[in-house]
Amino acid sequence: MSARYGARAVLRNTSLSVAAGEITVLLGPNGAGKTTLIRTICGRLRPADGTVRVKGHDAHLGEARRRIGLVPQELALYPSLTVRENLDVFARLAGMPRASIRARVNAVMEAAGVGARANERIDRLSGGWKRRANVAAALVGEPALLVLDEPTVGVDRDALAGFADLLRALAAAGLAVLIVTHDLEQAAAVADRVAILVNGHVALEGPVRALVARRFEGARRVELRWSHPPDADTRAHLTALAILPDATGATYVGRLPAGTGALADLLLTLEQRQVMPREVSVREPDLAALYADVLAEAGR
Amino acid sequence: MIGAIMKAMGLTLLRDKGALVMTFILPPLMFLVFAAVFTGVSGDDAPVKAAIADASGSEGGHALFLAMHNAPLVKATPVRNEADVRDAVRSGAADAGLVIVSDPSAGGNAAPLLVLADPGRAAAAGLLMAHVQSLISERLPQIGLKRLGAQMQSIVGAFTPEQTEQFNLALEASAESVAKGEKPRGGDFFARQTVDSLKALPTVTYYAGAIAVLFLLFSSVQGAASLVEERRSGIFDRLVMMPGGSSVMVLGKFAFITLQGVLQVTLLFVVAGLVYGVAVLPHFDSWLITTIAAAAATSSLALALACAARTRQQAQTLSTFAVLMLSAIGGSMVPRFLMPAWLQSAGWITPNAWVIEAYQASLWRGAALEELAPALFVLICYAVAGLIISIVLARRHVRLG
């Protein structure tokens, strides 16, 4: 699908599927179109062409919206109400029969792990508990798809692990989970699949391990940083090794095969030419390396 | 679903002590302040602070000077001369000034009394003149008679000895009447009766309605501002994903703010009834319908403003401007009958004027419900129009493209 605000195209030929029982993480730099994609999935923005479907229903229709539990980036809860009162309000707004609300609220609190704080006001909870309650509120309507927009903003590191466990448990229970985040560490901790959105287009999508293996083919990611762009000979040497400059021209990124001595040879050459970089970074390929590599490629 | 929104708003209000005070305590307090001001000063019995100087050196002038000093409705400050009187008025030490220029009982074309007015307190000069006239009429009738006699002689010629004797007898008789505490003989121009169909003072009833609608607007704006806050906090995003969408959100807020308004006005009128005898119970039907219509009109107006605003700052600016303008033009701050005719006409575009008119009609004049129909119709139109605009604008916030 494609989407636009007026004359400005924001998403172009974007394709993404989120399956039940899986956690898909949507990554992308600012302005890539992540928020627009979320809004389109939630039915608030009609695609310029193509379709968005939720369990077979057009996202623009109420039927689809009822199957989505949205966890906005902000804490979308009534701050002076308790956790239970908030869930009760949202359950009633979700159109649940009165008789089943209490049981549903208890079940959701159990699933989100906020039962111990049921009767505490939201504005008196710590960041981690607030985020859990924020997720719980999205679950009361029994959604098929849970959409989380930057769900861990403001959560301390201790609470992050628990939050990742919560998301995995929800996926294991059969929910399709789509997370939009800038937090690569969190993404790596929970993602079954990853989609990287660049310039309004899904540049890469698939299971994290498979994508990394396919992209790096056993190579290591090498990043060389100078204070100023290196001389012409050095540039030519690096380009010949497929180590290419970013937009600044002072940083070069590429891949070198592991265990072949290619990195040692490169560093020796640079030392002999007396153009040693200010910083050398060599990383085993992971999600962060994959993301950086995709962005670097897009920048070129 | 509307009940769920009402529940959330209700609990939020109950747990916000500041908002509770603003909504339910401040309006009756403000009403009591206004009522105290307007019952203490019902109009023509207002005490006037006056600086007085007797520059006449006459017996009549001195008598008037002493009488003014002892008059209950004049807080007289004696000063030496006209310059001191001017200083006292200019500095604000006195509301108005009186200079006894010449003998007030003597004839002649020149005025024997000079009243000095502060342009900022022009009404005080009028009151002082009224008090002086009343004093001369009731306490010093011989001054008036002597001046009248002198004026008549200048027109028809000198009295005959017999007429002079009769005139002197009349002067003695009037002095004796005053000494006995009787009202002097003489034809009064005015006989005064107060139209007071009900127990409470009309100004109190007026201000009960005026303050009620003013605070209805304020608390409605505060309640409706939660819409802007919820758009910012993401609650709006969450709610529009639910079956009722934005319409339920707006309707829930409308229902809650209207109910809150009815409770707020009820509390205000209970205080007005207990303290000042504003009679609500004999006109309960018309009062209740007026109250519901007023609360609905202000609630939907506030929601429309909140929906029209994109940011909290914008909502605050828009609402403050609207509430103050509507209240000023509509008569919540100053009684409408004191306004120029064009402003009184302009006032009819505000809900304030219609609410005040409806309360005045039912509680003061005892009008039947049918007589309130025009005011109620306008208020209901306000409510319906505001609600439709709010729902349409809220939907625009949902659909981004």
Q: SS3 sequence, A9-48?
A: EEECCCCCCCCCCCEEEEECCCCCCHHHHHHHHCCCCCCC
Q: Say which range, A143-147, A176-180, B126-130, B326-330, has the weakest mean pLDDT.
A: B126-130
pLDDT of amino acid B349: 94
Best of B17, B232, B241, B251 to disrupt the A interface (most A CBs within 10 Å) is B241
Average model confidence (pLDDT) across chain A? 89
pLDDT tens digits, B135-181: 888 888 888 888 888 888 888 888 888 988 888 888 888 888 888 87
pLDDT at B46 over 80: no
Interchain CB contact of B5 with A (< 8 Å): yes
pLDDT tens digits, B364-380: 788 888 889 999 999 99
CA B387 to chain A, closest CA, distance in angstroms equals 20
Mean pLDDT of A60-64: 80
pLDDT of amino acid B192: 65
pLDDT of amino acid A292: 86
Spatial separation of the C-alpha atoms in residues A169 and A157, rounded to whole Å: 19
Chain A residue numbers with beta carbons less than 8 Å from the beta carbon of B248 are: 93
Of all residues in chain B, the one with the smallest CA distance to A71 is B238
Q: Nearest Cβ partner of B238 from A5, A72, A81?
A: A72
Spatial separation of the C-alpha atoms in residues A106 and A121, rounded to whole Å: 16
**Tokens found for residue B164:** 């002079």
Mean pLDDT of A89-103: 91
Mean pLDDT of A127-154: 88
Interchain CB contact of B285 with A (< 8 Å): no
Q: Nearest Cβ partner of B401 from A5, A88, A92?
A: A5
Dihedral of CA A51/A57/A58/A64: which sign? negative
pLDDT at B129 over 80: yes
Spatial separation of the C-alpha atoms in residues B56 and B82, rounded to whole Å: 11
Taking CB atoms and an 8 Å limit, are B241 and A42 in contact across chains?
yes
pLDDT tens digits, B319-337: 999 999 999 999 998 888 8
What dihedral do alpha carbons B74, B79, B85, B90 form, nearest 10°? -90
pLDDT of amino acid A206: 93
Model confidence at B198, pLDDT cuts 50, 70, 90, reads very low
pTM for the model: 0.74
Spatial separation of the C-alpha atoms in residues B150 and B173, rounded to whole Å: 18
pLDDT tens digits, B47-77: 788 999 999 889 889 989 998 888 888 888 9
Interface of B with A in 22-51 (CB under 8 A): none
Q: Is beta strand A193-198 parallel, antiparallel or unpaired with respect to A23-27?
A: parallel
Q: Which of A75-84, A244-253, B181-190, B338-347 has the highest mean pLDDT?
A: A75-84
pLDDT at B197 over 60: no
Q: Say which range, A104-118, A145-159, A278-292, has the weakest mean pLDDT.
A: A145-159
pLDDT tens digits, B266-316: 999 999 989 888 888 888 999 999 999 999 999 999 999 999 988 888 888
Mean pLDDT of B7-12: 94
Taking CB atoms and an 8 Å limit, are A74 and B232 in contact across chains?
yes
Partnered with residue B116 across adjacent β-strands are B97
Q: Would you tell me how many other CB atoms lie within 10 Å of the CB of residue B259?
A: 17
pLDDT of amino acid B127: 86
Model confidence at A177, pLDDT cuts 50, 70, 90, reads very high
- Residues of chain B with pLDDT > 70, as a percent, come to 93
How many interface pairs between A and B have CB atoms less than 8 angstroms apart?
A: 89
CA B394 to chain A, closest CA, distance in angstroms equals 13
Interface of B with A in 224-243 (CB under 8 A): 232-235, 237-243
Q: What is the ipTM of this complex?
A: 0.76
> Which residue in B325, B327, B329 sits closest to B339, CA to CA?
B329
pLDDT of amino acid A18: 93
CA B241 to chain A, closest CA, distance in angstroms equals 5
Spatial separation of the C-alpha atoms in residues A114 and A121, rounded to whole Å: 12
Spatial separation of the C-alpha atoms in residues B128 and A247, rounded to whole Å: 86
B254 burial class (0-12, 13-18, 19+ CB within 10 angstroms)?
buried
| B386 DSSP 8-state letter | H
pLDDT of amino acid B200: 53
Chain B residue numbers with beta carbons less than 8 Å from the beta carbon of A94 are: 242-243
Kindly list the structural domains of chain B, giving each domain's residue range(s) and its CATH number in brackets, ordered by start: 44-194 (3.40.1710), 199-400 (no CATH)
Best of A4, A78, A120 to disrupt the B interface (most B CBs within 10 Å) is A78
Sorted by sequence, the CB contacts under 8 Å of residue A82 that are 6+ apart come out as A118, A119, A120, A121, A122
Taking CB atoms and an 8 Å limit, are B8 and A4 in contact across chains?
no
pLDDT at A21 over 70: yes
